[in-house]
A and B are shown apart, each in its own frame.
Chain A
């Protein structure tokens, strides 16, 4: 019983980070109907940014948050002008292809320069124990930070002028343009924010698990599941869905053979999609 509880708590902690990662994807999706297939590689960029910052400047891991956030935003805005600007509003396949190409180029460059070997950031923060089960401090800190960043994004979208502009563009781009919202800049800003969040999520993941240049694929898959469960284009929904996915993984593992975890996870995913086609936390129109 204690083992079950421990696994559920572990699931909640990691779930917050999954949720944060997916928020980056769902924000871009919700505002401009673009599926950003560079998502995984941006998560990996966050991981390597942390690794580089720690090993060159020797800064404490969580101080890297700010540079990663700013760097991620700049890269994201660049990505918008490079690969997304021309395909916004065009058939979905166009943006899929253009972001997928950028993804392939970046993964190829990463493999050529860094190889596919192992990287690890050693973060030791004392955790707490429940009987024989231990929760590492880094997991707790990552979960809290993920929740705080998610909440900050929520406040930002709801209560600032730029946030309102983002929501206006998401709702109706033409109408927003008619009332003087600079939609192109808003779109670039959104991609910048989405990528910055993905990079920060990557940075947090790098404090938890070892990684390689190719780790992005696994997190892209998870982010898609979370995005769909959370309701397309609903950042807060994504956070809850991330936690739900983490809890599910934690709750299933003690009872079934480990190899069944994914099967059950995706079976439930299909069931949810049938019952709630818009996701568990489907946004009301204009909820973003």
Chain B
């Protein structure tokens, strides 16, 4: 009940327009406090908040010798794409946001970019991986994460390394993000020499995957790539296990990166998932905290291990901060120029933005890792298994048939 009062109080506070003062920088964004995207979006927002609190605790961002504190203005977009444009317009015109962070998911980011670009405001995107908005000549839009087209590249490489002739079924949810991921993965798998024996999309409202799993079994596939979001991805994993589809390799989007995926028990064992970041990664940062420092500080504050949404949200802030400090100015074009020139490694990985007109702002350097659910002392834990250089454990391959 207290939570609800707090929410109400927070909503009331947020409803009041924010007035930028001389020594604050106002950053606006929408997040999905309610609706189907709430889990991931709240993770991302926690990353934003964590970055803001750390910066403010150190006195703020240094802009040419003067310190500026960070102030956020954010609204609940209710996980509804139609709300986003209205709210970003409000953030820019009414709340006078100087910079913007993206909402969560591709479906919400695309409509927001129309508004931010029209008003020539910089938006850092850490929640929408779809490439399309970046291929329309936008100049003030920057993607900090790996784009959808490369989501399953690591899974394809990892599978190829284990079995160059694996028979793959690629089955994905018919939503913009999953579709973008899978349609890119299909030619990648074929180019890698894998035998793609089944390609199919399913309606996001699918509840029973029994017949689909039977079809996968009929196709003779021994590896599975695909999925979509939470309920569907988890159901697929559970039914592939229960119906003894005996996949040697499974890479499923989104659902397995949630810690609660372990509730699937044996059904979770061996399932791999592409991840923008995992706590175990060990990049050497040029600035900002190391991965271990980030995890430790985050855990101390929120009493939970940060997921990649929190990490990517924090990365958004860190990259913007770096660009402002480099530009020594809050002027949009100067900061945009600094973002264009960014080529640095942070705890989240290597960040560099494409600057050619056809892909401007797309992430050009960051790469994903492949996580896998493995057993350690009888408990299911997440390990990083690919790329091998960043791995925290060896990949479990094939997934033991007795278990599957």
Residues of A whose CB lies within 8 Å of any CB of B are: 3, 6-7, 10-11, 13-14, 108-109, 111-113, 115-120, 122, 124, 127, 129, 132-136, 138-139, 205, 208-212, 214-215, 217-219, 221-222, 246, 249-250, 252-254, 257-259, 261-262
Task: Find out whether the CB atom of B211 lies under 8 angstroms from the CB atom of A7.
Answer: yes
Residues in A neighbouring B261, C-beta threshold 8 A: 118
Judge whether B281 is part of the interface by a CB distance below 8 angstroms.
no
Partner of B238, one of A109, A119, A210, A246: A210
Task: Find out whether the CB atom of A116 lies under 8 angstroms from the CB atom of B230.
Answer: yes
Task: Find out whether the CB atom of B215 lies under 8 angstroms from the CB atom of A7.
Answer: yes
For the A-B complex, the count of residue pairs with Cβ-Cβ distances under 8 Å equals 141
Tell me the bound Cα distance from A117 to B40 in angstroms. 9
- Nearest Cβ on chain A to B219's Cβ, whole angstroms: 9
- Nearest Cβ on chain A to B228's Cβ, whole angstroms: 12
B41 (CB) vs chain A CBs: closest residue: A116
Tell me the bound Cα distance from A77 to B243 in angstroms. 39
Residues in B neighbouring A13, C-beta threshold 8 A: 210
16 intermolecular pairs with C-beta atoms under 8 Å apart: A3-B218, A117-B39, A118-B231, A119-B263, A120-B238, A122-B264, A129-B244, A133-B243, A136-B242, A210-B235, A214-B35, A218-B205, A221-B205, A249-B211, A258-B200, A261-B206
Tell me the bound Cα distance from A214 to B305 in angstroms. 25
Task: Find out whether the CB atom of B255 lies under 8 angstroms from the CB atom of A133.
Answer: no
4 extra interface residue pairs, beta carbon distance < 8 Å, beyond A14-B208, A211-B231, A253-B215: A210-B238, A250-B210, A253-B211, A259-B202
Task: Find out whether the CB atom of B218 lies under 8 angstroms from the CB atom of A116.
Answer: no
Partner of A112, one of B4, B203, B260: B4
Judge whether B54 is part of the interface by a CB distance below 8 angstroms.
no
Residues in B neighbouring A10, C-beta threshold 8 A: 208, 210-211, 214
Interface size class of B (residues with CB under 8 A): 35 or more
Tell me the bound Cα distance from A208 to B208 in angstroms. 9
Tell me the bound Cα distance from A138 to B231 in angstroms. 18
Tell me the bound Cα distance from A218 to B258 in angstroms. 22
Residues of B whose CB lies within 8 Å of any CB of A are: 3-4, 7, 34-39, 42, 171, 174, 200-203, 205-208, 210-212, 214-215, 217-218, 230-231, 234-235, 238-239, 242-244, 255, 258, 260-261, 263-267
Tell me the bound Cα distance from A261 to B218 in angstroms. 18
A138 (CB) vs chain B CBs: closest residue: B242
Task: Find out whether the CB atom of B214 lies under 8 angstroms from the CB atom of A113.
Answer: no
Tell me the bound Cα distance from A132 to B219 in angstroms. 12
Tell me the bound Cα distance from A138 to B239 in angstroms. 11
Partner of B214, one of A6, A127, A212: A6
Residues in B neighbouring A258, C-beta threshold 8 A: 171, 200-202, 212, 215
Task: Find out whether the CB atom of A115 lies under 8 angstroms from the CB atom of B38.
Answer: yes
Partner of A113, one of B3, B265, B266: B3
